[in-house]
Amino acid sequence: MTIKLFIPGPVSVREDVLAKMSGQMIGHRTKGASELQRNISNKLREVFFTKEEILLSTSSGSGLMEGAVRSCTAKRAAVFSVGSFGDRWYDMAVQNGIPADKFSVPEGQATQAEAVDEVLKTGKYDLITVTHNETSSGIMNPVEEISQVLKKYPEVIWCIDAVSSAGGSKIEVDKLGIDICITSTQKCFGLPPGMSFTTFSQKAVEAAKKVEFRGQYLDLLALYNFIQKKDYQYPSTPSLSHMYALDYQLDRILAEGIDNRFARHIEMAEYVRNWARNNFALFADERYLSNTLTVIKNTKEIDIKALNGELGKRGYVIANGYGKMKDLTFRISHMADYTPDDLKNLIAAIDEIIK
Ligand SMILES: *Cc1c(COP(=O)(O)O)cnc(C)c1O
């Protein structure tokens, strides 16, 4: 029996999308490769609501996160963390020798626009990172409000970790003024893990030019320059298999209608939240709930491992809490190509097990 994954990535991939991965190879220095990569970038521009450049990376999203903070910080980075993935971005800066400071809030709370303003007022920073959707706590940060603050600091590069939300929740990159908006294949895009992509603004290009050591494989300026010169080809051999599936999946996403896709995610989120409120409690601040996953306080102290064992017999799996919240919370993802009926079936199975 195949198990449907309701963990926050990777998610189960539709059979037709998966089948595209088995297409025969083409040379990565051919017109065909250029066309494939150009088409993907054009379609991704629609999903991200941007006219800026798109960079594809044969790495998971963490690669682009590391590349972004290293390639574009000339002075000092301010990392706003609301949980594990924000903390990881800070560690990436430190371990690359990038001067950085971390600004954290207790888990379950959001990054507030006023806090960003206070930090940027100091004039110490030329780059900030914000987690759009924190997968450990189920927080979706108020990026519209933060964007209003950023307007006062036009010299600052704004990086967003949208790994667990882009493609499932609306992020209007150009309107918000985001310079680098990063996501991976295996979450809301409903593809196998192994690739990632980001928006890359002209402002980010100029910022990177001022950074002397940007690394090599994940030097975002080098990727940008290469695709300009070589008609969307990449310096090293990319995962063409992922690209076949991504190109096809983007057609599906645009055919569904991007706003319909976001609405479907909200419908699934509301169903799970309501069930969680009635039976347990939500972990995150009610004002900033994620549209793509729900983190639930384990108020009934159920044995989550045992629950997953029972769910497994019925063809499902959910996630326990992240890190130190392993047994205190559990997480249900509602992203990518799942339907409200899938979530209803999952919840019905959980109800039957815990009743
Ligand atoms: C999954 C996730 C990551 C890590 O992405 P990878 O593709 O596994 O490298 C980073 N940030 C968030 C918010 C995530 O959910």
Please tell me the distance between residue 85's alpha carbon and the centre of ligand 1 in angstroms.
7
Answer yes or no: is the C-beta of 239 below 6 A from any ligand 1 atom.
Answer: no
Neighbours of 121 (CB within 10 A): 12
SS3 annotation, 167-228: CCECCCHHHHCCCEEEEECCCCCCCCCCCEEEEECHHHHHHHHCCCCCCCCCCHHHHHHHHH
User: Which tokens hold the place of 208?
Assistant: 């990177």
Nearest to 133 by CA among 242, 9, 219: 9
Confidence at residue 1, expressed as pLDDT on a 0 to 100 scale: 81
Please tell me the distance between residue 354's alpha carbon and the centre of ligand 1 in angstroms.
30
Phi/psi at 286 (5° precision): -55, -25
Please tell me the distance between residue 74's alpha carbon and the centre of ligand 1 in angstroms.
25
CB 141 within 8 A of CB 132: yes
Confidence at residue 322, expressed as pLDDT on a 0 to 100 scale: 94
Confidence at residue 346, expressed as pLDDT on a 0 to 100 scale: 98
Answer yes or no: is the C-beta of 188 below 6 A from any ligand 1 atom.
Answer: no
Answer yes or no: is the C-beta of 61 below 6 A from any ligand 1 atom.
Answer: yes
pTM of the model: 0.98
The chain-wide mean pLDDT, for the chain, equals 98
Nearest to 186 by CA among 159, 166, 161, 160: 166
Residue range 143-179, pLDDT digits in tens: 999 999 999 999 999 999 999 999 999 999 999 999 9
User: Position 85: which residue type?
Assistant: F
Please tell me the distance between residue 328's alpha carbon and the centre of ligand 1 in angstroms.
21
Number of alpha carbons in the 13 Å side-chain half-sphere of residue 211: 30
CB 61 within 8 A of CB 184: yes
Please tell me the distance between residue 61's alpha carbon and the centre of ligand 1 in angstroms.
6
Residues found in the chain: 355
CB 193 within 8 A of CB 58: no
Answer yes or no: is the C-beta of 141 below 6 A from any ligand 1 atom.
Answer: no
Q: Strand order in 329-333's β-sheet?
A: 4-6, 316-320, 329-333, 293-297, 281-282
Answer yes or no: is the C-beta of 9 below 6 A from any ligand 1 atom.
Answer: yes
CB 272 within 8 A of CB 279: no
User: Position 163: which residue type?
Assistant: V
Answer yes or no: is the C-beta of 164 below 6 A from any ligand 1 atom.
Answer: yes
User: Position 74: which residue type?
Assistant: A
Task: Kindly state the percentage of the chain with pLDDT values over 90.
Answer: 99
Which residue's CA is the nearest one to ligand 1's atom 5?
61
Task: Kindly state the percentage of the chain with pLDDT values over 70.
Answer: 100
User: Which tokens hold the place of 314?
Assistant: 């019925």
Confidence at residue 24, expressed as pLDDT on a 0 to 100 scale: 98
Rounded CA separation 266/268 (Å): 5
Q: How confident is the model at residue 67 (pLDDT cuts 50, 70, 90)?
A: very high
User: Which tokens hold the place of 146?
Assistant: 């933060």
Answer yes or no: is the C-beta of 333 below 6 A from any ligand 1 atom.
Answer: no
Site to substitute for ligand 1 among 88, 161, 180, most atoms within 8 A of C-beta? 161
Answer yes or no: is the C-beta of 184 below 6 A from any ligand 1 atom.
Answer: yes
Of all residues in the chain, what percent are helix, strand and coil, respectively (each to 5)? 45, 15, 40
Please tell me the distance between residue 31's alpha carbon and the centre of ligand 1 in angstroms.
32
Q: How confident is the model at residue 243 (pLDDT cuts 50, 70, 90)?
A: very high
Answer yes or no: is the C-beta of 161 below 6 A from any ligand 1 atom.
Answer: yes
Answer yes or no: is the C-beta of 62 below 6 A from any ligand 1 atom.
Answer: yes
Q: What is the mean pLDDT of residues 77-99?
A: 98
Examine the pLDDT at 45 and tell me if it is beyond 90.
yes
